[in-house]
Amino acid sequence: AAGAQLVAHAAFKSLLFLGAGMAIHATGSGWLGSLRLARAMPLVALLSAVGALALTAVPPLGAAWSKERILAATLHASPWLGGAVLIASLLTALYAARYQLLVFGPPDAGTRAAQPYRPGTAELASLAVLASVTLLLSAVWLPGGERFVASMTEGTLESGAAWEIAASVGLTAVAFGLVWQLFRRRRLLTFGLPDRLQAAAADWLGLPTMTHAIIVRPIESLAAALARLDDRVIDAGIRGVAWLARRVSALAAIHGEWTFDGIVRGITSLTLGTARASRTTDDLGVDAAVEAGARGVGFVGEASRRLQTGESHHYYVIIAVGLAVMLVVLIWSP
């Protein structure tokens, strides 16, 4: 029964939602007191009525069959549970009939007639398909329908008593009659309630306000407290670490200037001093020795040139002196 209700519910609820969306699109408003589109959108109103009747579980629609089986199962489990289902069916019939009359009912003297609106082909086709599916589900009332549903859902079905169906249909009829009387007296929008009760009903009996006070405000306060904790503790710790890192970096930079940079400057100064000393040594030592040797060679060369007089006795004297020097060297050498 639950599986059949799920399929039927998907079909007629989609039909109702689509029809409501088309009504809002046609008028630009979702306020129930400004619609009444029976004349402006007659075909949409007719198809929406199929969904509203299915929602209220009017036989022989398929939704009525599945609801009766659910009612039988709940009454079998607990009379109190079955009574709750009957009350729910009464309330469902009330709001479904109210929706249909306020949205797609005929306009009254206090309602400005809406301009005719022609929905698109795709929109009408979608409504027609959903309405057709809703109507085709009525086949479950035929012989063999119960067995087919049981085989598809692999579950058991409770058979309801005649009084259960009568009670369900009777409550639906009472709901329809009450809604129609309120519609005729132009009280369907407000149910004739005092302004305070209307305000309470519009506020869902204070449930949103209560939810805001019990859930929303405490959560917002907790979020604000956590934000302050994050700013003052967690972020403060992160900012402290960042400040410490900057200080350590600055100290490391100063220490680097005093140590590593000092070593580099010292090596540079030593290298420059060594280069200057090497240049001085080169100028005063090596270059001086080379220049002295060159001057000595020049002097010897000049002196030897003077010895070349062209006279034989001078050459004999030079040879004799050379031989004497050689003898001295040979004698004194070890």
Neighbour tally for 97: CB within 10 Å? 25
Share of the chain above pLDDT 70, in %: 63
Query: pLDDT grade, residue 310 (50/70/90)?
Result: low
Domain boundaries, the chain: 2-194, 203-251, 260-332
The pair of structure tokens assigned to 78 is: 């607990």
Is it true that the peptide bond before 334 is cis, omega within 30 degrees of 0? no
Rounded to whole angstroms, the Cα distance separating 333 from 218 reads 119
Averaged over 125-141, what is the pLDDT?
A: 84
The pair of structure tokens assigned to 264 is: 């580099």
Rg (CA), the chain: 57
Cα-Cα-Cα-Cα dihedral sign, residues 101, 104, 105, 108: positive
Query: pLDDT grade, residue 274 (50/70/90)?
Result: confident
- φ and ψ of 202, to 5 deg: -65, -30
The pair of structure tokens assigned to 205 is: 């009996």
* Sequence-ordered alpha helix ranges (H) in the chain: 2-27, 42-55, 62-77, 79-104, 121-136, 145-153, 162-184, 195-202, 207-211, 217-229, 235-258, 260-281, 287-307, 312-332
pLDDT digits (tens, 9 = 90+) for 176-231: 888 888 877 777 666 665 566 656 555 555 566 777 778 888 888 888 888 888 77
